[in-house]
């Protein structure tokens, strides 16, 4: 790739999560990193830059790029100016595609925070082949969705014997609140389940299966689990989809890989209430009037306070079995939705911009695109990857 003006451009820097990501970059990006802020409001970008300069005086000189998802030429200019584009502008099903298209065309690496399966599948169908040709790496879900899970599974697999079948179970538990943007994305996913299932089927037909290997998801059943430390519920989220795609690509996951994915709650009554609430939300999200009422319950610009974020935490445990070996691992950290998500996204961008990575292109998972270099970065940044038990 010819030298470009920037190494990383952060698009959506004026939003809630975008500002947190910008603050992390200001405090932790190496001094030589050439990065810039992008958004549609010059005055808001200038305000963010001024706040960043209080963290790091060098940020007073950060370039500001005007770009709007409704202006394809502005997005093309951003993509052509940098090695990596990072975007926090969601819901991605509404606002994400134009930037993916610009990056795929320009051969520019693209990172986002989406937890929306339909969006990821649509982008694969539309831009995977073009990105392979231009050398772009399109990497979705570079925050709490789905780095602790995808990279945690990668870390766990590497503790197990090679060349044998692997059974893996993942258990995610969080303490904290979520933003209006996350809430709106979730309601939109629920309201588009039929469309999402149709697009997922099209992707499966085009993608095919790995040759001479088997990779499968196991739905699991609700139960009380000692490894997880509570009651567990099967969770059909985007995280297991990324893990299974990593397994389909990387032979290190063995000739026969299976994965079950759960969320963890402390008590049976909580599990029953959560399941019932989720079912009601799905039902209400199917009709436009009730879906709009749900969306009005929380403003998309809302986010937790600094005090709320300071009390938040996450823990993801994995139970792996292979070749007679049993291992329990854990990935853990602080505020999952914001503090740690902005850290994960920033470290992913720095990894893509600076580290020696596998020569792959197209739509990739975090494990396939970055692998061990990203695990190493996350550990240095304070996210814990550890072996709890091995036998």
Q: Is pLDDT at 282 greater than 60 in this prediction?
A: no
Please write the tens of the pLDDT for every residue from 153-164.
999 999 999 999
Angle between helices 239-249 and 147-157 (to 10 degrees): 40
d(CA 14, CA 44): 6
Q: Which residue pairs, CB below 8 angstroms and at least 24 apart, start in 94-99? A: 94/188, 95/69, 96/123, 97/122, 97/123, 97/126, 98/69, 98/70, 98/72, 99/11, 99/69, 99/75
Pick the residue with more confidence: 91 or 247? Answer: 247
pLDDT band for position 305 (50/70/90)? Answer: confident
Please write the tens of the pLDDT for every residue from 357-385.
999 999 999 999 999 999 999 999 999 99
Phi, psi values for residue 340, rounded to 5°: -75, -35
Domain ranges within the chain, ordered by starting residue: 6-144+341-373, 147-336+384-390
pLDDT, position 307: 80
Q: May I ask the CATH class of domain 6-144+341-373?
A: alpha beta
**% of the chain residues with pLDDT over 70:** 88
Mean pLDDT on 316-326: 98
pLDDT, position 363: 98
pLDDT, position 192: 75
pTM summary value: 0.92
Mean pLDDT on 16-27: 95
CATH of domain 147-336+384-390: 3.30.360
Mean pLDDT on 41-64: 97
Q: What is the sign, positive or negative, of the torsion defined by CA atoms of 240, 246, 248, 253?
A: negative
Mean pLDDT on 309-317: 90
Please write the tens of the pLDDT for every residue from 214-260.
999 998 888 999 999 999 998 878 999 999 999 999 999 999 999 99
pLDDT band for position 1 (50/70/90)? Answer: low
pLDDT band for position 43 (50/70/90)? Answer: very high
d(CA 103, CA 202): 23
pLDDT band for position 178 (50/70/90)? Answer: low
pLDDT band for position 276 (50/70/90)? Answer: low
């Amino acid at each position: 790739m010819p030298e470009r003006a920037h190494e990383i451009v952060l698009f959506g820097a004026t939003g809630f999560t975008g500002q947190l990501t910008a603050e992390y970059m200001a405090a932790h990006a190496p001094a030589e990193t050439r990065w810039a802020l992008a958004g549609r409001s010059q005055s808001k970008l200038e305000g963010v830059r001024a706040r960043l300069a209080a963290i790091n005086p060098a940020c007073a000189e950060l370039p500001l790029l005007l770009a709007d998802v409704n202006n394809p030429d502005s997005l093309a200019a951003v993509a052509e100016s940098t090695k990596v584009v990072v975007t926090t502008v969601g819901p991605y099903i509404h606002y994400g595609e134009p930037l993916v298209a610009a990056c795929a065309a320009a051969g520019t690496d693209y990172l986002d925070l989406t937890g929306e399966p339909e969006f990821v599948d649509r982008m694969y169908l539309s831009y995977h082949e073009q990105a392979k040709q231009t050398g772009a790496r399109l990497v979705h879900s570079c925050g709490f969705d789905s780095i602790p899970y995808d990279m945690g599974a990668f870390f766990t697999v590497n503790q197990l014997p090679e060349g044998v079948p692997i059974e893996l179970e993942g258990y995610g538990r969080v303490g904290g609140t979520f933003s209006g943007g996350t809430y709106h994305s979730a309601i939109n996913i629920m309201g588009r389940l039929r469309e999402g299932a149709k697009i997922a089927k099209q992707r499966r037909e085009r993608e095919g299966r790995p040759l001479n290997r088997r990779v499968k998801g196991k739905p699991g059943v609700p139960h009380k689990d000692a490894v997880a430390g509570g009651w567990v519920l099967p969770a059909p989220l985007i995280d297991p989809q990324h893990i299974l795609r990593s397994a389909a690509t990387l032979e290190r996951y063995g000739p026969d890989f299976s994965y079950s994915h759960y969320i963890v709650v402390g008590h049976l009554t909580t599990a029953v209430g959560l399941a019932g609430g989720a079912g009601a939300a799905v039902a209400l999200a199917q009709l436009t009037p009730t879906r709009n009422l749900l969306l009005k319950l929380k403003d998309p610009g809302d986010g937790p306070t600094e005090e709320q974020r300071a009390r938040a935490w996450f823990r993801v445990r994995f139970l792996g079995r292979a070749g007679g070996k049993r291992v329990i691992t854990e990935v853990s950290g602080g505020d999952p939705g914001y503090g740690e998500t902005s850290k994960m996204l920033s470290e992913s961008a720095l990894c893509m911009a600076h580290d020696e990575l596998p020569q792959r292109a197209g739509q990739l998972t975090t494990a396939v695109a970055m692998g061990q270099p990203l695990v190493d970065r996350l550990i240095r940044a304070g996210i814990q990857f550890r072996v709890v038990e091995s036998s």
